[in-house]
Structure 1
Amino acid sequence: MNTTKLLILLCVISIQAIFAQKNNVNGNSQIVKGSPLVSPQIQVIPIKDSINNRQYELYIELPEDYSDNTNKTYPVLYYTDAVWHREILSACQEYILEDVILVGISWQLDINEDLKKERGAHVSRFRDYSISKHSNPEIQAKYQMGQAKTHLGFIRDNIIKYVENTYRSDPNSLTYFGYSLSGEFGAYILMTQPDTFNNYIIGSPTIKDEVDYLSKLNAEFGPFETSNRNSSLNANVFISYGSLEKEIEPIDTFVKLLKDRRDGGLAVLKEVIDGTHGTAFPTTAIRSATWLSSIISPISSDNYDVSFWDMAHLNNAFVTTTPEDRKDGILVDTLAVNTKDRNAILTLSQEIFEGTHGSYDAVLVSHKNKLVFESYYKKGRINVPHGQASAVKAYTSLVLGRAIQMGYLSMEDLNKPLISFLKNIDPKKFAKGAEKITLHKALTMQGGLTIDRDAWKDIENDSVRLKGQGLVQTLLEQSEPITSESQTYLYGNFNPMLVMMVIDAVVPGTAEDFIRKELLDKLGITNYKWSTHISGIPEAGWRASIMSRDMIKLGNLVLNKGKLNGEQLISVDYLDKATSGIVKPTQDWMPKDYRYGYFWYQTLVQVGDNSYDASFAWGGGGQRVIVIEELDLTIVISGHDSEDKIMTPISEIIIPSFVTQ
């Protein structure tokens, strides 16, 4: 959002805040009658509850380009308490949610006039939005509270059907917005009929007395099971409350209830807004609108920053066979495969979105150094870095290759004792055989360290002892003797940290600066996160995030034998060895035909009678940068899948499509 739009919207907020969430009407107010303000953008549609014969109104506001794009469908935001919420949500549509249809739902119009005079035009909300009957019989008789189920039926059977039949709405992108009592109503919808909406904005819900009932509904729904998609609530949920509110504990309990489901289809974000129950409303509207914009578009707004696990799922897959030139250093082209293969790839994309193959967030394909296919699902976004898990090991290997290319190390140094590069260590206390650990051994997971796990738990957070090369000192003190028998393949993060320590020791400045200046900056990778180990040097085996498009850059660098724009960034000799199959991994979970180089994997992909050599970075959850030199192909996968079975459809559908190209 640009500065001008933000200033205008803040003005709207300040005005709206005065009127936010009034539950009572001052009957002594002097009202000067005049001509009502009519907004040409809003259509007021009368609508009747077909079961209870109650009269309401809908406030329909269409996007500016609605009439111009007759083949386009639009997300719909349904909001309750329409009179109170209409102005600020209309402003959000103007400046944040430009492609969204707004549907405001009024209070009942033809309700008892005495009740209207006593409590105001909003009196029906006490009945329609509340979950339970009131404990006081007199109040209950008067307001008929606890009819959330009835009102939900009206919304599902009358309102949503009317909108779907009248407007070009996107059935996969329906959002509910409710605040205070209507926030309670939103919680009820989520826990009883979650398929009503795809996204739920629940602001400061009045659920103090409803937590037990909501917990009961959750139990009736049952726990989430990975093998059963129907066990998921399948919703994105934004829940907020004001920092000065009195009843926040019930809301926190409800949030915990949702998160404890460990539900693969449920994404929950909690926001604490500065202010009271009333004054927190305007900011809630803005924050939630920004959150929603990140769900209906694969490009997140600049000011949307949440952790990966709080990231909501996209309502629709974003799939393109003609990727956009985003001026990010990536050349683009059109997917040029035959019709059958193209349709198979598109079908696979839909299957990935539906979760058929697990939980994956992006698949990108670059052919002949041009991006020709780009797709995002679930938590994937074009402009948001994605966690890389152990794929970071492969990137660390490229950093070492860069150091060799620049002359800070040589290929011969790979077979020298690793400790010979470290000047701030004392070998007197080292385990016997410490000199047997070379860069080659560490890079192939054959360092041979044997550390007692329980003993290491008492040490691993000691930032003083492990500072700098103290990490290596401690590892070599704690290890059992390093022998030929111990120097066999053993996957883990100790070996990568040994390699990173050498990089830090031999390059000018720090390893952190070297990674940034000599690799990432040269590739135009600027939007990333690379965590620091407790030792003070960059993590070498995990805890880094980069964008999926930037993973393509790293893959193409390998495809081009370490050369970028005519400059040799990575040593050719090193890269050839790094991406070859040097050792055979021994873990049971590792496919039998996989081999391991210098933190890179190697395997053969069979297509018909032919096989193709594939090198790839691999991180848990499905992070892969796959390079097939013979096909001039780079494939990137981002995901958060525990079983990580995506390689099968990639090998059977995508890779064969390029065999004849």
Structure 2
Amino acid sequence: MYRLVITACALLAVATPVSAQTPWRTGSPESQGASAERLAAMDAAVRAGTFQKITSVLIARHGRLVHETYFDEGGAEARRNTRSATKTVTAMLVGAAIGEGDIASIDAPVMPFIASHGPFDNPDPRKAAITVEDLLTMSSLLECDDDNQFSRGNEERMYLIEDWVKFAFDLPIRGFPAWIPKPADQPYGRAFSYCTAGSTTLGAVVQSATGEPLDAFARRALFAPMGIEGEEWQISPKGLPQGGGGLGLRSRDLLTLGQLLLNRGQWEGRQVIPEDYAVAMTTPQASVDPQRGDYGYLIWLPTYTVNGQPHAAWAMAGTGGNKVVIVPDLDAVVVVTTENYNVRNPHGLADTLIAEHALASINTR
């Protein structure tokens, strides 16, 4: 059974009071340069199953919520499992900790913050040189690669261990055979390797630096200032909130986080994370590969082709095609949540929905 479409004109008809949601100014699609007709066609395509199991689509343009549709029983109040989109939230928390002076800078070594999890296996002086920025850019020298089932640091192996931070820093230093360029020979001087254990460790760094449980710090420094509430964290066996994935947030909360980045760290006139850090988050810091492009601070930097024109974007992304896509030159944020966990090419499905429907509804003239 599908939920009723929630548009700017129908927001007051929603069973859940607007006051219980993250506060958003609303507007009709036409008032913000979007086509209501094309958005209606998008919703029809979702209901027809063209994109498998999509659970919500939200669009903001010029800082106003112009489209909000739910396709499942959970509706507006459901906490969506953001999967790896959580990693971008962890990057925001690093910025908040830097803003409060708890972490000196992105160049701060990680090891002093996690020493209580040691001693670590495979001692190597290069581990002591791993910085916060190395983990933010997925480019530490730890042998950790979620895309390689043979990697010692593969995410699935982490969940078999009680202490996830110790798992990360017990890993050996990775090698660079002749067919893999060394960091110095790669763009930005970094060798990207997707590593959930590194993002998990960053959560522990923030917790140690601030002296607050990660979830408590997140609520005080990031979520509460933006009206986000009821977040649901996954917790490790040692009690660490998982900064690498699984955070449960409402779709509007995700839209708010996307708008925060579009606003250079500001929400409703308040600087939630430092502006220079927010800019650095969305600036290319590492190169992934020719297909996926560049990477910022725990955020993807794809290009979407919309109506034949390329548009640089920033994307929080999680398994199943869950996405928060920010397109600066369109002044737009798109949220797509899904349950496409066991279907073919879920990210491709979500990207097609975003490019050919959500963004294509926007008048760029």
Both proteins in one fold, TM over 0.5: yes
Matched, 1:446 2:143: no
Q: Which residue of 1 aligns with 2:202?
A: 499
d(CA) in 1 for partners of 2:213 and 2:33?
51
Q: Distance in 1 between matches of 2:32 and 2:157?
A: 59
Aligned-pair CA distance for 1:455? 11
2:70 aligned to which of 338, 360, 376: 376
Query: Does residue 1:578 correspond to 2:284, yes or no?
Result: no
Aligned residues: 335
Which of 88, 98, 111 is the matching residue for 1:404? 98
Q: Work out whether residues 605 and 611 of structure 1, in 8 Å CA contact, stay in contact via their aligned partners in 2.
A: yes
> Taking structure 1 as reference, are residues 353 and 417 closer, same or farther at Cα in structure 2, changes over 3 Å only?
same
Q: Please, what is the CA RMSD of the aligned residues? A: 2.9
C-alpha spacing 1:377/1:568, structure 2 compared with 1 (3 Å)? same
Q: How far off is 1:658 after superposition? A: 2.4
Offset, 1:509? 2.1
Per-residue CA shift, 1:319-358, capped at 9, x if unaligned?
Answer: 5353516123111111116999332221111110111122
Q: Distance in 2 between matches of 1:503 and 1:409?
A: 8
- Per the normalisation by structure 2, the TM-score is 0.82
Q: How far apart in 2 are the matches of 1:634 and 1:455?
A: 31
Match for residue 567 of structure 1 among 270, 285, 288: 270
CA shift in 2, pair 1:656/1:529, >3 Å? same
Matched, 1:658 2:350: no
Give SS of 1:424's match: helix
Deviation at 1:559, TM superposition (A): 1.3
Q: Is 2:58–2:68's contact at 8 Å kept on the other side of the alignment?
A: yes
Deviations 1:553-595 (A, max 9, x none): 1111111111122221111111112112222224xxxx81432
For 1:345, the equivalent position in structure 2 comes to: 39
Deviations 1:168-196 (A, max 9, x none): xxxxxxxxxxxxxxxxxxxxxxxxxxxxx
Displacement of 1:544 after TM fit? 1.5
The farther-off stretch of 531-540 and 386-395 is 531-540
Residue 528 of structure 1 deviates from its aligned partner by 2.2
Cα distance in structure 1, aligned partners of 2:160 and 2:351: 36
* Pairwise CA distance, 1:630: 2.2
* Cα drift, residue 488 of structure 1: 2.7
Q: SS at the partner of 1:363?
A: strand
1:320 equivalent to 2:7? Answer: yes
Equivalent runs, 1:394-473 vs 2, <5 Å: 394-410=88-104, 413-426=105-118, 429-432=121-124, 433-450=126-143, 453=152, 460-461=159-160, 463=162, 466=163, 471-473=164-166
What SS does the aligned partner of 1:374 have?
A: strand
Task: Give the SS at the match of 1:528.
Answer: coil
Q: d(CA) in 2 for partners of 1:400 and 1:455?
A: 23
Query: Could you tell me which of 599, 610, 619 is aligned with 2:318?
Result: 619
Contact (CA 8 Å) 2:323, 2:350: kept in 1 or not? no
- In the TM superposition, residue 408 of structure 1 has moved relative to its aligned partner by 1.4
Aligned to 2:85: 391
Q: Secondary structure at the match of 2:58?
A: strand
Q: Is 1:475 paired with 2:174?
A: no
Q: Distance in 2 between matches of 1:605 and 1:579?
A: 16
Q: Which residue of 1 is the match for residue 187 of structure 2?
A: none
Task: Please say if residues 444 and 599 of structure 1, whose CA atoms lie closer than 8 Å, have aligned partners that are also in contact.
Answer: yes
- Please state how far the C-alpha of 1:427 moved relative to its aligned partner: 5.5
Give, as a single letter, the amino acid of the residue that structure 1 aligns with 2:94. L
Deviation at 1:612, TM superposition (A): 2.5
Please give the secondary structure, in 2, of the residue aligned with 1:616: strand
In structure 2, what is the equivalent of residue 637 of structure 1?
Answer: 336
AA aligned to 2:109 is P
CA distance in 2, matches of 1:424, 1:369: 43
Determine the structure 1 residue equivalent to 2:235. 532
Cα separation, 1, equivalents of 2:32 and 2:211: 50
Partner SS, residue 90 of structure 2: helix
Partner SS, residue 324 of structure 1 = helix
CA contact (8 A) 1:334 1:372 kept: yes
Secondary structure at 2:287 match in 1: coil
Q: CA deviation at 1:616?
A: 1.4
Letter in 2 for 1:521: A
Structure 2 distance, partners of 1:449, 1:553, is 33
Shift of 1:372: 0.9
Instruction: Tell whether 2:352 aligns with 1:648.
Output: yes
Q: Radius of gyration: which is bigger?
A: 1
| Distance (whole Å) between structure 2 residues aligned to residue 363 and residue 501 of structure 1 | 32
Q: Structure 1 residues 339, 472: closer, same or farther in 2, change over 3 A?
A: closer
CA distance in 2, matches of 1:515, 1:336: 36
Aligned mates of 1:604, 1:624 — CA distance in 2: 14
Aligned to 1:254: none
Aligned-partner Cα distance in 1 for 2:273–2:293: 24
SS of alignment partner, residue 192 of structure 2: coil
CA separation in 2, counterparts of 1:584 and 1:617? 16
For structure 1, the residue ranges without an aligned partner over 5 or more in a row are 1-313
Instruction: Return closer, same or farther for 1:537/1:342 CA change in 2, 3 Å cut-off.
Output: same
Q: Residue 359 of structure 1: which of 53, 62, 70 is its match?
A: 53
Distance 1:566 1:456 in 2: 38
Q: Kindly indicate whether the alpha-carbon contact (under 8 Å) linking 2:33 and 2:362 is maintained by their aligned counterparts in 1.
A: no
Q: TM-score normalised to the size of structure 1?
A: 0.47
| Partner SS for 1:476 | helix
Q: Secondary structure at the match of 1:352?
A: helix
- Percent sequence identity over matched residues? 22
Give the corresponding residue for 1:508: 211
CA contact (8 A) 2:99 2:273 kept: yes
Q: Which has the larger displacement, 394-403 or 324-333? A: 324-333
The amino acid across from 1:631 in the alignment is L
Distance 2:154 2:83 in 1: 25
Q: Deviations over 1:629-658 (max 9, x none)?
A: 222211111101132212123212321332
What is the CA-CA distance between 1:458 and the residue it aligns to?
8.3
Indicate the residue corresponding to 2:186 in structure 1. Answer: none
Q: Offset of 1:448 from its aligned partner?
A: 2.6
1:554 equivalent to 2:244? Answer no
Judge which range, 647-656 or 616-625, deviates more: 647-656
- Contact kept in structure 2, 1:431 and 1:481, CA below 8 Å: no
Q: Give 1:374 deviation, angstroms.
A: 0.8
Q: Which amino acid aligns with 2:241?
A: P
Secondary structure in 2 aligned to 1:561?
coil
Structure 1 residue 315 displacement after superposition: 4.1
Q: Which has the higher contact order (CA 8 A, sep 6+)?
A: 2
- Asked if the contact 2:191–2:286 (Cα under 8 Å) also holds between the matched residues in 1, the reply is no
Corresponding position of 1:599: 298
Residue 396 of structure 1: how far off its partner (Å): 1.0
